Amino acid sequence: MSQVPYHTCTMFKSFTTHSMFNRTFSSSSSSRSLTTISTFSNFTSKNNTHHFLPIFPSTHRVPSISFPTSFSVRMASGEQKFPPQKQNTQPGKEHVMDPLPQFTNPDYKPSNKLQGKIAVITGGDSGIGRAVCNLFSLEGATVVFTYVKGDEDKDAKDTLEMIKKSKSADAKDPLALAADLGFDENCKRVVDEIVSAYGHIDILVNNAAEQYECSSVEEIDEPRLERVFRTNIFSYFFMTRHALKHMKEGSSIINTTSVNAYKGHAKLLDYTSTKGAIVAFTRGLSLQLVSKGIRVNGVAPGPIWTPLIPASFKEEETAQFGAQVPMKRAGQPIEVAPSYVFLASNQCSSYFTGQVLHPNGGAVVNG
């Protein structure tokens, strides 16, 4: 595929890698034990080139980091501004944001809702994915997440360290996997890696996504359209079809869609189209799997303070981000993550399937 022309397009955060961005990382040889996780995993890309994707097992020593310890989000509506800021590289990096997104809340009281479960979160290194990883871990799950090699290494290491600190005593060691999920063979290898380490999958959160801002449909050429659809919806199909072989009655699949699927967005046409497809995918898949006792639901976040914001918008736009919703402010990842806990827990949502939750700051949507 040829490289996407940028024109007036602004690239948003990408959770996957792709050959047209030349994110290929070759090496001569590598091996990985299924019981003792090593540093690299040998994946083969679409063109059969071997790439060695770093894995950060819980035994990997990472630098000490500090995470937010206070939860200062105003729950009521009110004016909110962020410091003007702009990141010049893609995808965005959470560790350089000001303020840091809040992925945890000291007032959150876990109650073993996911004890003994094996949970997989794609795009889990930062933003909403990181907050979901944290709460799943607090609730007793063993957590695996995927991320972008190179661009998100530090955020992935930080998230892994956070999970190590929050995991319950009986949970297994967490795992971070780098992979381009836009291709079926890579999704299969991710699932195989997880099953080799843990035996099965109980919860799959399809969360990886990317988006571009453009003012006209004429700017969306075939390579870009394929890229966005591969990341945002193909990966959901691929991850699900391979994970299902290792899921059983009582398992749960949760898909991240967006408020834009319901309201539309003039400058995010291809992204919004994929998010609409995710809603339809969620509803159709839930009907397929209900007889097997596997629930399928979705979450449609509104404007949430994640790395894609300073990496995508101008400084003045970042400062006003979220002001358009009734609450007049952006949400924090920790305000979205409990929706995933609810949908993943059979204690809480055993009568939910084919449904979508809407943590969006008060925007009224149908569906």
- Structure tokens that stand for 243 in this block: 């994970």
- Domain assignment present for residue 109? The answer is no
Residue 82 CA to its chain's centroid (Å): 23
Q: What is the model's pTM?
A: 0.80
* Per-residue pLDDT at 76: 55
What's the total number of domains in the chain? 1
Indicate the range of 59-68, 256-265, 268-277 predicted with least confidence: 59-68
Closest CA to 166 of 251, 106, 96: 106
Is 73 part of a structural domain of the chain?
no
Is 31 part of any domain? no
* Alpha carbons 309 and 113: distance in angstroms, whole number: 32
137 assigned to some structural domain: yes
Helix or strand (DSSP H, E) at 197: helix 184-198
Q: What is the pLDDT of residues 327-341, one digit of tens each?
A: 999 999 999 999 999
Give 354's DSSP letter.
Answer: S
In a domain, 313, yes or no: yes
Parent domain of 226: 10-17+115-357
Lowest mean pLDDT, pick from 79-83, 159-163, 220-224, 327-331 = 79-83
Instruction: For 201-263, give the DSSP string.
Output: -SEEEE-----EE-S-GGG--HHHHHHHHIIIIIHHHHHHHHHGGG--TT-EEEEE--THHHH
79 located within any domain: no
Q: Does some domain include residue 5?
A: no
In the residue annotation, 6 being an active-site residue is answered as no
One-letter amino acid of 366 = N
Query: Which residue, 159, 227, 190, 222, is CA-closest to 16?
Result: 227
Domain containing 131 — which CATH number? 3.40.50.720
Strands (E), the chain: 10-11, 40-44, 50-54, 118-121, 142-147, 175-178, 203-206, 212-213, 252-256, 295-299, 356-357
Is residue 85 in a domain? no
- Give the residue-averaged pLDDT of 8-36: 34
Tens of pLDDT, residues 65-121: 344 444 455 555 556 688 887 877 767 777 776 788 888 999 999 999 999 999 999
Annotated catalytic residue, options 212, 236, 262, 271: 271
